[in-house]
A and B are shown apart, each in its own frame.
Chain A
Amino acid sequence: KYRKWQQRVRVQTSYERNVIQAMNELSRISSQLGIPKACVDEAMGVYEQVLTKGLVRGRSVEAIVAACLHMACRKIGMPRSLDEISQYTRASRKEVARCFRLIARELGVRLPLSDPKLYVPRIVEQLKLSGEILKEALNILEQAKKRGLTAGKDPAGLAAAAVYIASLLRGEVRTQKEVAMAAQVTEVTVRNRYKELARELNIKIPIK
């Protein structure tokens, strides 16, 4: 009788223990990144699908959880880059990216295309810039997309460049370094994107 109970517990825990471990890991990363509960729930839903389909076998729970979180944030429309998420896991960015692609392929998940506009609000907030800057940056990105200047480029880099240009136009100047840090890209990327956008969209930058 006791043995049967023990077996049942063990069977339940094999799945539940995994889920609990994933849940702990997920809430830890999420609280550190300030990710909303709706997104955490979404990530947990994806994780359970992945676990059910046996895709966790041979892989670290951490890397899978990180990939699920990235995916959930994308679904919800609040993207967190792989670099950001990787910073709070033991799994490398490369491994998280690999898991992300595996899950996307195996579960046939079609995510909305990565949109640079979604990275703008956080950059604007972090730099304590105004809503005017936000609008202007989104405007620049809209034009850039119409002109086909965004294909193949890192969305975070494009968003950073748009915010930088907007800050110059509105006189709430932030340095390339500050914008780069807020967007988690290098100054070089901000500079390259900013130069290209300003040139191709004929944006005249006021000389300070």
Chain B
Amino acid sequence: MPNPTYRIENIVATVNLGVDLDLDKLAERLPAAEYNPEQFPGLILRLQRPKISALIFRTGKMVCTGAKSENELKRAVKELVRLLNEHGADVPITPEIQVQNIVASGNLHAEVDIEKSALMLENSMYEPEQFPGLIYRMDDPKVVLLIFSSGKIVCTGAKKEMQVKDAVFKIHDVLKDIGALYEEVSKEEEEF
């Protein structure tokens, strides 16, 4: 039976630039920036490469979303600092970056009996009228998994990539143990 696989789809991180920022000035000088303080207190800046969005606040704190790897995240932060400094800000070149959330998609490579899973798993919710996936809150690692009958999954709430890996392998074992995993019949038959 194949191991489950996963891919990181989005990393959310906070960055503390350590200096207050004049968002009005920045918004004027950065043509790509969106800033509607009435609507939202943060200035929105989208980078093309890597494709990342940043919410920049008056206090010098920043939220970066859209990165698919820590490397991409670091590159984006460097680029953001460079952009800010080119447009009137004066921020240190090595701000602290904290990953707050990692979203990953995955595949158990087996069909899942989600009705059975809903009955067997305590911290789960399955309401097909509201959403097609089973929502499972795992205690350790503390993440939330969306599990679909196709065997595709989504893992969110992790702060480390290792937690994603652990959660994906753990849910695979849990579902296997309760007898909720089934071979994908069509694929097996095609092989032989």
Contact = CB atoms under 8 A, between A and B. Distances in A.
Of B111, B114, B128, B133, the most chain A CB neighbours within 10 A belong to B128
Interface in A32-83: 81-82
B111 A153 contact: no
Contacts of B133: 152
A171 B113 CA distance: 35
Contacts of A156: 129
Contacts of B130: 82, 97, 101
A207 interface: no
Contact of A151 (B115, B125, B127): B115
A179 to B, nearest CB: 18
Interface string A72-110: 000000000110000000000000010001001100000
A114 B132 contact: no
Nearest to B126: A113
Of A82, A105, A113, A152, the most chain B CB neighbours within 10 A belong to A152
Interface residues of A, number: 15
B115 A113 contact: yes
Interface string B118-131: 11000001111110
A86 to B, nearest CB: 12
Interface string B98-127: 000000000000010111001100000111
Contact of B129 (A81, A104, A148): A81
Of B118, B127, B149, the most chain A CB neighbours within 10 A belong to B127
B132 A153 contact: yes
Contacts of B126: 113
Of A97, A114, A155, A156, the most chain B CB neighbours within 10 A belong to A114
B148 interface: yes
A154 interface: yes
Contact of A101 (B119, B125, B132): B125
Interface in B42-90: none
A152 B128 contact: yes
A114 B128 CA distance: 7
Given A113-B115, A113-B119, A148 B128 contact: no
B119 A152 contact: no
Contacts of A105: 125
A151 B148 CA distance: 8
Given A113-B115, A113-B119, A152 B129 contact: no
B118 A113 contact: yes
Nearest to B123: A105
A113 B127 CA distance: 8
A161 to B, nearest CB: 14
A69 B192 CA distance: 53
A148 B110 CA distance: 14
A148 B125 contact: no
Interface of B: 111, 113-115, 118-119, 125-130, 132-133, 148-149
6 contacts: A105-B125, A113-B115, A113-B119, A151-B132, A152-B133, A152-B149
